[in-house]
Amino acid sequence: MSDSGQARPKVGLFVTCLVDLFRPQVGFAAVKLIEEAGCDVDVPMAQTCCGQPAYNSGDSADARDIAQATIRAFEGFDYVVAPSGSCAGMLKKHYPQLFADDPDWRARAEAFSVRVHELVSFLTDIMGLDAVAAAHPATATYHDSCSGLRELGIAAQPRALLASVEGLTLKEMRDPDVCCGFGGTFCVKYSDISNAIVEKKTQTIEASGAELLLAGDLGCLMNMAGKLKRQGSAIEARHVAEVLAGMTDTAPIGGKG
Amino acid sequence: MEVTSPTFKQNAVHALHDAQLQKALGNVRAGFIDKRRKAADALPEFDALRDAARDIKDHTLAHLDLYLEAYEQKVTDSGGHVHWAETAEDARRIVLDICRMQNARTVTKGKSMITEEIALNDFLQLAGIKAVETDLGEYIIQLRNEHPSHIIAPAVHVNKDQVEADFRRVHDYLPDDRDLTEPETLLDEARRVLRAQYFEAEVGITGANFLVAETGSSVIVTNEGNGDLTQLLPRVHIVIASIEKIVPTLNDVSQILRVLARSATGQDMSVYTTLSTGPRRKGDPDGPEQYHVILLDNGRTSMLGTEFQDMLRCIRCGACMNHCPVYHAVGGHAYGWVYPGPMGAVLTPSLIGVDKGGHLPNASTFCGRCESVCPMRIPLPKMMRHWREREFERGLNPATQRYGLKIWAAFAKRPRLYNFVTSMAIPLLALFGGRKKRFSFLPLAGGWTRHRDLPAPESRTFMQQWRERESGKQRAAA
């Protein structure tokens, strides 16, 4: 953005609970990318989680309370951006549904929804980014996380930006659009089934020949990285934002080796 | 049939350890998905047809009474009889009454999930009437005394060696040197047995893919031709269909047919699409002397007007289970009743109660692939979530889950407290993660660490670091 007098868009970062607790550098990578794309970023302190654990467990009352708090916390921002297709999908697609019987909040949730974007698609589709200034010499494979893919249509955007990363080669795994078996609380409630699903996933990841696994959702990444590590795989896992922001000098998710 | 849905978790573990089943499930993943994709891609208007199909059913469901009555009138006009059955028991009794009037000893059956739903075969057997399944897959599982594990490929869990063993066990007159090693030779043997049954049977029973209000016709789609022989050769043809099979016109049928086979098997059309309207008319070369239609409710009307009404659009193509990672992992029998996969996860609690079928809508990752391929655009994950809401409201989920959720929610609703507690706990957890940066075991996280390592937190929480960074910036500016 130039100094043509146009104000820089104000972006509120929805950090997501997993990034906050387990992988802060994804949050800092997101801040860096959004700032470099020409926006001002702030992080409202009154945020915790998007509410999916409650919502998907049938506890819509708590989900509604959390949704209201989140909507309030992000008032005044031009955009609300989350480094997760799943959480962005919750904010964008499901918050309005939570207030189906409450016209006032429904309207607020819909107005909020319009401003919500997943990080990578925000960079490409809203800020018009088509390349990043990052380098990471590796052969990577990209997993399409389900909510990002099917609720928000995110598939081409991360691949396009990754193609601009110097030294990075993208090798597709078979069926990158098939679920990794995470599913939020599903992975502990039905851990045996979840395990069977992630085992098939890590087979396809291994078969791709890539040395680096990328995805846009930390939940899926922790599941797949955790399984790869348990299987003794040398494949490393990172959030796509880390690579796009050039922040890959730290340990990968679940450590090395 | 015995309902084992309440033990879904144990059923699933059993299925996961069944090596033969796991091999067979590989065929589901390999077979159906590419065929559907090719068929859908080859038809530019495929997605528009899905919209049209959805709209046809929505319209029909909004005027269900009207179309059902119009249909009944047309069936009666064409010389057939319509029987209304509120419950499975009513439907079974009506079938038995018709069979008794014919002194029927043998009944042939076309493939029909609705007769599975009302457990008709067991009932007829107890009444001394032999029911013979004529669809090859159904015939195989009947020999095995099993139930379908897939709504369009009932024997998808069985391999051909098992079928040979079953044939040799039941067709015990077969000489040892008779070749039964290939699907073709197995088919020849089944065909030989079934041919005789078609002529022996007094009554033929089929389901219906559609009932047409405009003409009073029932429509079945098959690939083997067995349905035609079932409904044409016996003296009496009974159609059993649930009420949501109705569509207004033949034109509507032809539109929905264009998405049905493509979604199911990837065929443009199934090999046979057969319409039957009333009994044999004067001058007809063949056909039954009597034509009966049993219209079954069995819980459907209680879904109307609720958040589950959209499920009544389902045309039983099986695409949702063909694309479901959970179905791929455990197969159909683990679901514990008639309907497996995502459509079963929504329908089963509706029909047998959420207290029995409650696991099914929970056993989903909400990956959404089912909805993305459903030809009728049924929002399956959304409806599974509605079942979870009903369970939560009624307190049906385990107490540990409920309390765990409530405690978590209490924190999630208090950002200051949440940030304070996590800023204390997370650095500790990061410390315990050590140089490996992961846990292979962690108390209270056994559900996770039993099968996979848990990546450790990097260091301190993002919020903690951000707050310090921002106050550092302010100090620098001051």
Please state, in angstroms and rounded to a whole number, the distance separating the CA atoms of residues A242 and A221: 13
Angle, to 10 degrees, between the axis of helix B415-433 and the axis of helix B399-412? Answer: 110
Q: What is the pLDDT of residues B121-133, one digit of tens each?
A: 999 999 999 999 9
B383 touches chain A (CB under 8 A): no
- What residues of chain B lie within 8 A of the CB of A189, using their CB? 362, 401, 447
Closest CA to A115 of A168, A70, A163, A165: A70
Question: Would residue B396 count as lying in a domain?
Answer: no
Tokens for A122? 């925000």
Give the β-pairing of A135-143 and B217-222.
unpaired
Please state, in angstroms and rounded to a whole number, the distance separating the CA atoms of residues B98 and A209: 64
Indicate the residue among A81, A106, A125 that finishes a domain: A125
CB atoms within 10 A of CB B233: 18
Which pLDDT value is given to residue A3? 52
Q: How many domains does chain A have?
A: 2
Give the β-pairing of A212-215 and B454-455.
unpaired
Which pLDDT value is given to residue A2? 47
B440 touches chain A (CB under 8 A): yes
* A75 and A118 belong to one structural domain: yes
> What is the CATH number for A240?
3.40.50.11810
Question: Would residue A2 count as lying in a domain?
Answer: no
Closest CA to B402 of A205, A189, A44: A189
Residue pair A162/A240 in contact (Cβ under 8 Å)? The answer is: yes
DSSP B374: -
Indicate the residue among B247, B265, B298 that finishes a domain: B298
Residues A226, B452: C-beta atoms closer than 8 Å: yes
* B123 and B260 belong to one structural domain: yes
Question: Would residue A252 count as lying in a domain?
Answer: no
Half-sphere exposure of B244 (CA within 13 A, CB side): 24
Please state, in angstroms and rounded to a whole number, the distance separating the CA atoms of residues B104 and B35: 42
Measured CA distances, B256 to A36, A74, B60 (Å): 50, 45, 13
The H or E element spanning position A200 is: helix A191-208
Indicate the residue among B262, B283, B298 that finishes a domain: B298
Q: What is the pLDDT of residues B94-128, one digit of tens each?
A: 999 999 999 999 999 999 999 999 999 999 999 99
Average pLDDT over residues A232-252: 97
User: How would residue A1 be classed by pLDDT, with cut points 50, 70 and 90?
Assistant: very low
Q: What is the pLDDT of residues A82-112, one digit of tens each?
A: 999 999 999 999 999 999 999 999 999 999 9
Measured CA distances, A133 to A22, A241, A246, B478 (Å): 26, 12, 8, 33
- For the ranges A183-197, B35-49, B324-338, B400-414, which has the lowest average pLDDT? B400-414
Closest CA to A123 of A42, A52, A216: A216
Q: What is the pLDDT of residues A157-211, one digit of tens each?
A: 999 999 999 999 999 999 999 999 999 999 999 999 999 999 999 999 999 999 9
* B78 and B219 belong to one structural domain: yes
* A118 and A134 belong to one structural domain: no
Q: Which strand ranges, in their side-by-side order, compose the sheet holding B217-222?
A: B246-247, B210-212, B217-222, B272-276
Where in the sequence is the domain holding A210, given as residue range(s)?
Answer: 130-244
Please state, in angstroms and rounded to a whole number, the distance separating the CA atoms of residues A142 and A145: 9
Residues B413, A62: C-beta atoms closer than 8 Å: yes
Indicate the residue among A105, A125, A145 that finishes a domain: A125
Please state, in angstroms and rounded to a whole number, the distance separating the CA atoms of residues B68 and B213: 7
* A68 and A146 belong to one structural domain: no
Question: Would residue A253 count as lying in a domain?
Answer: no
Indicate the residue among A125, A150, A184 that finishes a domain: A125
- What residues of chain A lie within 8 A of the CB of B310, using their CB? none
Which pLDDT value is given to residue A5? 59
Where in the sequence is the domain holding B144, given as residue range(s)?
Answer: 43-298
* A111 and A153 belong to one structural domain: no
* A144 and A228 belong to one structural domain: yes
Which pLDDT value is given to residue A211? 97
Which pLDDT value is given to residue A4? 55
ipTM of the complex: 0.96
Residue B302 contacts by C-beta under 8 Å, 6 or more apart in sequence? Answer: B350
**Which residue from B408, B438, B461 is facing A20, i.e. has the nearest CB?**
B461
Q: What is the pLDDT of residues B417-434, one digit of tens each?
A: 999 999 999 999 999 988
pLDDT at A240 over 70: yes
B403 touches chain A (CB under 8 A): no
B301 touches chain A (CB under 8 A): no
* A77 and A143 belong to one structural domain: no
Please state, in angstroms and rounded to a whole number, the distance separating the CA atoms of residues B13 and B448: 16
Indicate the residue among B268, B298, B328 that finishes a domain: B298
Q: How many domains does chain B have?
A: 2
Nearest residue in A to B13, CA atom: A192
Local structure of B438: helix, strand or coil: strand
* B430 and B284 belong to one structural domain: no
Local structure of A221: helix, strand or coil: helix
DSSP B158: -
